Amino acid sequence: MAEFDFDGEIDRRVVPALKHHRIVLGADGMDLFPAGVADMDFRVAPCITDAIAARAAHGVYGYETVPDGLIPELTGWLENRHGWKVDPSHILRAPNVLNALAMAANAFTEPGDGIIVQPPVFFDFADIIAENGRRMVENPLILRDGQYEMDFNGLDHAARDPKTRMIFLCNPHNPVGRVWTAEELARVGAICRLHGVLVVTDEIHGSITFPGHPYTPFATLSAEDALNSVTCLSPAKSFNIAACCSAFTVVPDDTGRRALEAENSRLTVNKNNAFASVAMQTAYAEGASWLDAVMVYLRGNLDLVRRRLADVPGITLIEPEGTFLLWIDFRGLGLESDDLTAFLRRQAGWAITRGIAFGPQGAGFGRLNMACPRARLAKALDRLALATRAGS
């Protein structure tokens, strides 16, 4: 890991980084610990920086097609890293994963149809459903003995409604950090196939999992599940290139793929960004050692959070299995959501994502991004402990 420096501080305020911007932090929060937005504060793999610089040096940035090497590098990554052999003809492009989810909602459901979500879950799912005139059907996760589980009986009940046509599955799950097992996913697949519910799965965090919790791509469960799925992928999270990449959808069903292609065409989502293409191709081809080092560093950060919070009364870490996002239970502090936000900002100096943003099931929780230099994280944890002791 010495090859890469994750401890160095990089001032992201010199660019319009969302995490540090007033639209996220508020005008009064520019000096807070910025741990809400889901990207890393680590410099990207040097191979990516070098590849972008080389492309920039060419000096001509006109219209481009998809590079010949990009899709082979993507499929090679999926097969070598995750055991998923993907037919390149099943892959479509999209500007980003959220765009892919929205296109799938429009391609495979009608206005007023139900789309199942499993809160507390990534808040943009609700926005996509509402803004496209669909109806959100909640199948809340169950928190039992410190771990979240799916409510399969509730899922079966929700899927039985003939107007419920789709589920937005988050695998691995943001924000609770579950990496769903093959057995859990197979139960989802069986229920959805039985009731004619299409599984549209956001797997953007698939390459960020901890030992003992391997990522299972939903489409690898069975041929039948693959045909009843649309998988949304991007290297944005794994390689910290969210502002310089696009996304992919894997659609094994021929009819479904043509429908999604038609939606893509209707929206004229067919241009390629030269720098995104080179960043993604290089990440998949040469970035594995950097990602491996990131995962070691993240485990160290997780160990730090686990140790520090164990000594802070009223605050509990929900043990994560994947992602660099931590779901923290603050309910023991006895504060309402607005009061909790105020306490974290004013007493602890923290700007994290409010748990209630992920649905009412998230009230009393918060999502912490731990992908930052360890010294900064340690300082923030010290401030939290001091604020908690002062308030007790």
Determine how many CB atoms are found less than 10 A away from the CB of residue 357.
Answer: 17
Residue 176 predicted with pLDDT over 80: yes
Structure tokens at 34: 């910025």
Q: What's the pLDDT score for residue 3?
A: 85
Q: Where are the domains of the chain?
A: 12-45+288-391, 60-286
CATH fold of 60-286 reads Aspartate Aminotransferase; domain 2 (3.40.640)
Residue 1 predicted with pLDDT over 50: no
- In one-letter notation, the amino acid at residue 31 is D
What is the distance between the alpha carbons of residues 294 and 285, in angstroms, rounded to a whole number? 17
Quickly list DSSP for 41-58.
Answer: -SPPPHHHHHHHHHHHHH
| pLDDT band at residue 23 under the 50/70/90 scheme | confident
CATH fold of 12-45+288-391 reads Aspartate Aminotransferase, domain 1 (3.90.1150)
Query: 326 by DSSP, 3-state: which?
Result: strand
Lowest mean pLDDT among 85-99, 268-282, 338-352, 370-384: 268-282
Query: What average pLDDT does the segment 189-213 reach?
Result: 98
pTM over 0.85: yes
Q: What is the mean pLDDT of the chain?
A: 96
Interval 25-50: pLDDT, tens: 888 888 899 999 999 999 999 999 99
Phi/psi region, residue 334 (left: phi>0; alpha: psi -120 to 50; beta: rest), is left
Determine how many CB atoms are found less than 10 A away from the CB of residue 58.
Answer: 8
| pLDDT band at residue 2 under the 50/70/90 scheme | low
Q: What's the pLDDT score for residue 391?
A: 66
Determine how many CB atoms are found less than 10 A away from the CB of residue 350.
Answer: 23
β-pairing, 114-117 vs 164-170, is parallel
Residue 334 predicted with pLDDT over 50: yes
β-pairing, 198-202 vs 164-170, is parallel
Quickly list DSSP for 161-178.
Answer: STTEEEEEEESS-TTT--
Interval 212-266: pLDDT, tens: 999 999 999 999 999 999 999 999 999 999 999 999 999 999 999 999 999 999 9
CA triplet 324, 178, 330: central angle to 5 degrees? 70
Query: 273 by DSSP, 3-state: which?
Result: coil
Share of the chain above pLDDT 90, in %: 92
Interval 68-106: pLDDT, tens: 999 999 999 999 999 999 999 999 999 999 999 999 999
| pLDDT band at residue 171 under the 50/70/90 scheme | very high
Q: Comparing 12-45+288-391 with 60-286, is the CATH topology the same?
A: no
Helices (H), the chain: 22-25, 46-58, 70-82, 97-108, 124-131, 152-160, 182-195, 223-227, 254-266, 274-286, 288-310, 337-342, 374-391
Backbone angles phi, psi at 233, to 5 degrees: -130, 155
Q: What's the pLDDT score for residue 29?
A: 83
